[in-house]
Amino acid sequence: MMMRGGTSKGAYFLAPDLPADPVERDRLLLSVMGSPDPRQIDGIGGAHPLTSKVAIVSRSTDPSADIDFLFAQVSVDEAKVDTTPNCGNILAGVGPFALERGLFPARDPETPIRVRTVNTGTLAELIVSTPGGRVQYAGMERIDGVPGSAAPVTINFLDAEGSVCGSLLPTGQVCDRVAGVAATLIDNGMPVVVVAASDLGCSGHEDCAALESNRDLCSRIEEIRLGAGRLMGLGDVSSAVVPKVALVSAPAAGGVICTRSFIPKRCHASIGVFAAVSVATACVLPGSTAHALAQLPPGRVKRMAIEHPGGLFEVRLVVGGTTEKPHVERAGVVRTARALFDGVVFAHDEAPA
C-alpha cells in the first residue's frame, strides 16, 4: 500500500510479504523503489528522500506493543537501504495501515495502538480516527507541508529519549564544540546536531534551494555532522542518514524557533517529526545552541510551533524539573495520513502473470 504519512510518502509492506534475509529484502526494496537512479524512473519512489521510504509492519512480539514497525530509508541515487533511523512521519501511517490489513481490531470512535519502532526500540501510542470501526482519512486537521485537511493521527512518544544514542545528551554536555562550531548534540527520538545558523554565515531563513546550492555551506555542514557522529558514539556516519543537522535561528513567523533541517545532505522541505521533537527539547535546555534563540511559551505543558520552510510544525512537550534543570517528561505531535494506492508492485526480475 502506498501511503502519505505526515509530510512523507512511502510503500507500506506486511513483513511476511518480504524476504526474511535482510540482504535479499534490501535488494528487493531497491528494485521496487527504482534505486539507484536520481529520477527513480523504473520504480515507485518519488526521486526525493521524503518520498523514497518504506514501512515494514507486523504484529508485535513485544508484550508492551501491538504492532512492530521497521522503517527503511531507501537512497535515491545509491544502492543503499538504511534501517538505522526512525521516521515519525511514516509512523503516522502505520496505525491506519495495520487496521486496514486486519493486524489490530478497530474500535469506535477511535483506536489507540501501541507501535514499537524496531529500528530503535522506541514505543509510541497512535490514536487513529475509526468511527464505526473503520479508518477515517477525511477530517479537519491541517499540517503545513500537506495540502488540504485530513483526520488527525495523534502520536504520543512513550520512550523516545536516547532512542539511538542511549541518552538525551550523548556527550553529557548541553553544548559541545564540533569542527570549531558550538553545537548541541541531542537525541529525543532522532540524533540531531543543533547549530546556530549565524555561526555558519546564514540567516537561517533562506529557502532550501539557496542552501543546497551553497557548496561551501554544505561541505561545512557535512564536516560538522561527521565530527558529531563520532562524539555521539555513532562512529563513522559518512554512509548513514543520522545524525541530522538542524540550523536554528530566531523565529520570524510566530513560532518558537526557526529551523532548516538537513536529511542529511538535502534540505528538508519541512522538518521530520523526531527532528522537530529533538530541536524543541533543545530549546528548553539552558545553555543549548537553541535556547537563547527560542521564544518559549510559559507553563509546564508547552505547545511549541517549530518554523520550517513549509510553515509550522507543532510539538507538545510536558516539562518538569526546575528552571535550571528542566526535564522533558513527555513529547507528542499530531500528524495526518492517507492511503493512496493498494495493489501489487513488481521488482525487476518479476513480471505480471
CATH code of the domain covering residue 81? 3.10.310.10
Residues 209 and 112 reside in one and the same domain: no
Structural domain total, the chain: 2
CB atoms within 10 A of CB 23: 9
248-265: pLDDT as tens digits = 999 999 999 999 999 999
Residues 107, 92, 87, CA angle at the centre, nearest 5°? 145
Q: How far apart are CA 14 and CA 38, in angstroms?
A: 27
Nine-digit cell string for 79: 544502492
Residue 346 lies in a domain: no
Residue type, 142: R
Does 348 reside within a domain? no
| Same domain, yes or no: 100 and 57 | yes
What's the predicted TM-score (pTM) here?
A: 0.85
CA distance 206 to 349: 44
State the pairing for strand pair 67-74/311-321.
unpaired
Print the domain residue range for 259: 176-321
pLDDT at 353: 54
Is residue 326 in a domain? no
Query: Residue 351: inside a domain, yes or no?
Result: no
Query: Residue 129 pairs with which residues in a beta bridge?
Result: 110
> What is the predicted pLDDT for the residue at 351?
56
Ranges of residues in the chain whose predicted pLDDT is under 70 = 350-353
According to the model, what pLDDT value does residue 349 have? 80
- Per-residue pLDDT of 107-154, as tens digits, reads 999 999 999 999 999 999 999 999 999 999 999 999 999 999 999 999
